[in-house]
Amino acid sequence: MCPQKVLPPYICTYQGVLLAGVDEVGRGPLAGDVVAAAVILDPAYPIEGLADSKKLSEKKRKLLFDQICTRALDYSIARATVQEIDRINILQASLLAMRRAVEQLSVQPEYVLVDGNKKPDWTYPCDTVVKGDDRVAAIAAASILAKVTRDRELVELDKQYPGYGLARHKGYPTKMHLQALQQLGPSPVHRASFAPVKQLLMDLV
């Protein structure tokens, strides 16, 4: 996790508006929480190299993660759990995680830009931006915080539930992961509502 952020005694704006970028990571995997982040960048401390987290190397993501934690005006990381994903579906869980991330910011934004084409149910003035992690620096920063956080969590889950290769594929439905599921059955961190896991659970009944 990021260290606790000490906010500067002023609030910076982006084109006259205090802007937060929001993104989530982990909609496609079969295991683990979906993680979201919200970031308000500080124009006084620019960060070079921000981009869609999926297009960055692991080393670059970790470097930028530390810079975002140090230089952003404010940031927040939140999640929706596996249980929530199974109860309300992955889309609604992703929107819930993003809403939590924004609501947990210490500095409340005046405007929010959300990656994708769906926005959470909230009162913040906002817009959605398709491929926003490639187009908006604050969204790119949020995608990096979310991905590095989730990747680290899957490494830890791999220690708790060995054999699935979670540290390697981060829960995505790779051939290795699907084979491990067939051999070991689902673990408590697998999403029971996702088709490959759901089918295995039905076969066990």
Q: Which residues contact 135 (CB under 8 A, 6 or more apart)?
A: 129
Model confidence, pTM: 0.92
Nearest alpha carbon to residue 69 among 148, 145, 152, 151: 145
Rounded to the nearest 10 degrees, the angle between the axes of helix 195-204 and helix 175-184 is 20
List 168's β-bridge partners, or say none.
none
C-beta atoms surrounding 172 within 10 Å:
16
- The span from the CA of 24 to the CA of 79, in Å, is 9
CB-neighbour burial class of residue 182 (10 A; exposed 0-12, middle 13-18, buried 19+): exposed
Q: Binding site annotation covers 23?
A: yes
Q: What is the pLDDT of residue 139?
A: 96
Q: Which domains does the chain show, CATH number per domain? A: 19-204 (3.30.420.10)
205 residues of the chain, pLDDT tens digit each = 555 555 454 555 556 679 999 999 999 999 999 999 999 999 889 999 999 999 999 999 999 999 999 999 999 999 999 999 999 999 999 999 999 999 999 999 999 999 999 999 999 999 999 999 999 999 999 999 999 999 999 999 999 999 999 999 999 999 999 999 999 999 999 999 999 999 998 877 6
d(CA 180, CA 96): 30
Q: Which residues contact 101 (CB under 8 A, 6 or more apart)?
A: 22, 36, 37, 38, 76, 77, 78, 142
52 is in an annotated binding site: no
Please give the single-letter amino acid code of residue 177: H
Is 66 annotated as contributing to ligand binding? no
